[in-house]
Amino acid sequence: MKLVKNIQSTAKKVLQEEANAILKIVSTIDSSFESCVNHLLNAKGRFVITGIGKSAIIAQKIVATLNSTGTPALFMHAADAIHGDLGMIQADDTVMCISKSGDTPEIKILVPLIKRTGVKLIAMVSNTNSYLGKNADFILHALAEKEADILNLAPTTSTTVALALGDALAVCLLECRGFNSQDFAKYHPGGALGKKLYLKVSDIYPNHELPLVFEDASIKDAFLEISSKRLGATAVVNQNNQIIGIITDGDVRRMLNVHDNLTGLTAKDIMTASPKSIHPDAFAVEALQLMQQKSITQLVVVENNKPLGFVHIHDLLKEGLV
């Protein structure tokens, strides 16, 4: 096996060439690109994307990105299209065909069939003077003058450029539609990403009993409450059930360092007044951020100045947010 002597320099050269190619297509973004976006925003049908070979793989990724950001899209393999899959195209759809050269035999067969359906055709193509480019209603110029491999044959720069241009298209559509984080959460309910966007404190704290003592409770009662509820803390309330403080394991340790005689001490004597709290409607990720900022492991959940429960760092660990 022949060893490449300059592996690092080769890798850097490939990355630099692909980065330069992406920067070069910035100048191709013009009124034609804008017209394409406006058409897709107003289109009644679906967005069907097709390609063959490596372009088909890029098409599938663009379809996935569009679907997850509010633009319904379908993938249609160019080879399968001429063997029956063309039937998926409906009257109000828009088709985008991805091809570097725009002149492959499959493209020359497919384009007339797509045009015959009467739908609008978008060409994502490097060669705008190609058969595909000349027959398209809109052109997204995925300019790729040279592939990154030494033979200038393997789809590298061209597929990177097409992928980046697809991302630009998807993000433009996302912003024009006013797609927000809550919309994103609808399409990404699973995993830590989804939970950051929809999981609320109110989904977590009811899983625990509320540790609670009155301000005049004995130290022993406060200890027992902390131990029995296993959250490392207890809320302290006044006679109107309004929160006035919190006692944590740390408060207990500090008390033992200060007081030799515990007789007569109450919860109010050792609590931390005005504790950090969070509203039940807050997102769980906000609770995590607050804990990290204050270097604490639990927050009391408060509404209308009354404690409802606790959210602990272990809850957030269990949900995969940390």
Q: Are strands 277-278 and 47-51 parallel, antiparallel or unpaired?
A: unpaired
Instruction: Specify whether the CB–CB gap between 58 and 159 falls below 8 A.
Output: yes
User: Does the annotation list 312 as a binding residue?
Assistant: no
In 158-297, the DSSP E strands lie at: 212-214, 233-237, 243-248, 272-273, 277-278
Distance CA(152)–CA(137), nearest Å, equals 30
Sign, Cα dihedral of 310, 313, 318, 322: positive
Alpha carbons 227 and 265: distance in angstroms, whole number: 18
Q: Which long-range contacts (CB under 8 A, 24 or more apart) does 15-23 make?
A: 17/146, 17/148, 17/157, 18/148, 18/156, 18/157, 18/160, 18/161, 21/143, 21/144, 21/145, 21/157, 21/160, 21/161, 22/160, 22/161, 22/164
- Checking phi first, is residue 275 left (phi over 0); if not, alpha (psi -120 to 50) or beta? beta
Q: Tell me the binding residues.
A: 77
Q: Tell me the binding residues for Zn(2+).
A: 77
